[in-house]
Structure 1
Amino acid sequence: MNGGVDWALSEEVIDLTRGPSGLGFNIVGGTDQKYVANDSGIYVSGSKKMGPALDGRLQEGDKILAINDRDLKNLLHKDAVELFRNAGYNVSLKVQHRLQPQNGPAGHRGDGEPGGIPLAVILVPVLAIAVAAVWAFLRYRQRM
């Protein structure tokens, strides 16, 4: 996470019903396995191929603040996993989503952040092709 960008955060309560393959996502983090520097929170690390979490409400990188009203602060990773395993059939998650940064144009995610292609990656090759095309055209006209 980029320290130079102010991310907007939103919280949402998401109710899920456990399926045959669980809740449908994996978690990372904890006091012993920090996913984000200086934060021992529990985060969604990805979705499984099947499960109730595939409806799009949960995204990779979302922070799970609580499960069934049980705060997930200061837990070891294995203890958080155990809470998820024993949460029951109907599970309520309090989730924090990281939204678009507040100090940049729409679509900008910040240096090193996923989700955006830096302008230079596109602009430099396009400019190089344009310069080569102009040079070739001028050389062609010179020979006529």
Structure 2
Amino acid sequence: MNGGDYLASDEEIHLKRGPSGLGFNIVGGTDQQYICNDSGIYVSRIKDDGAAALDGRLQEGDKIIAVNGQVLKNLLHSDVVDLFRKAGEDVRLNVQHKVQTQQNGPLGHKGDGEPGGLSLSTILVPLLLAGAAATVWLIMKYRHRH
């Protein structure tokens, strides 16, 4: 997830398992951290026409806090997958949405295991401005001496 400042909002979402399951993919767990120093479980992809897409509230990047009341904390990725498989037909998710407040770069993560970071422009623009200011200062200093 690149760029922006995020504020979290919590919601409880009830999904009914469809022919293709719940209709989303997850990333994360103690063995596959999606975000550095965070072993939480995140939605990496919403499948078209799946239960989650038809409901419309679950979004890519949301953190799943609990499934049917069981908190997803300090679990291996495979244990969470098993928990989802055994969750039954009616599944209650406690979700923490990410609400973007400022756009710095492209959003989106399809579960490739590489979380985003700062955009290149966030790093380069201040460096270029500092370099330009230093150059102007050196030119002015050199002109006053000669």
Q: CA RMSD in A?
A: 2.2
Match of 1:85 in 2: 85
Are positions 1:109 and 2:103 aligned together? yes
Percent identity between the aligned chains? 62
Shift of 1:40: 0.3
Unaligned runs of 5+ in 2: 109-118, 122-146
1:50 to 1:5, Cα distance in 2 relative to 1, 3 A? closer
1:113 to 1:39, Cα distance in 2 relative to 1, 3 A? farther
Are positions 1:94 and 2:77 aligned together? no
The count of corresponding residues between Structure 1 and Structure 2 is 109
Shift of 1:50: 3.2
Shift of 1:49: 2.9
Match of 1:35 in 2: 34
Are positions 1:52 and 2:51 aligned together? yes
Unaligned runs of 5+ in 1: 102-107, 121-144
Supply the distance in 1 between the matched residues of 2:53 and 2:96 (Cα, whole angstroms): 17
Letter aligned with residue 73 of structure 2 = K
User: Runs (4+) of structure 1 moved beyond 4 Å?
Assistant: none
Supply the distance in 2 between the matched residues of 1:50 and 1:100 (Cα, whole angstroms): 25
TM-score (norm 1): 0.69
TM-score (norm 2): 0.68
Supply the distance in 2 between the matched residues of 1:32 and 1:50 (Cα, whole angstroms): 30
CA deviations on 1:51-105 (whole Å, 9 max, x unpaired) are: 210032111100000000000010000000000000000000000001123xxxx
Considering Cα pairs closer than 8 Å and 6+ residues apart, tell me whether 1 or 2 has the greater RCO.
Answer: 2
SS of corresponding position for 2:79: helix
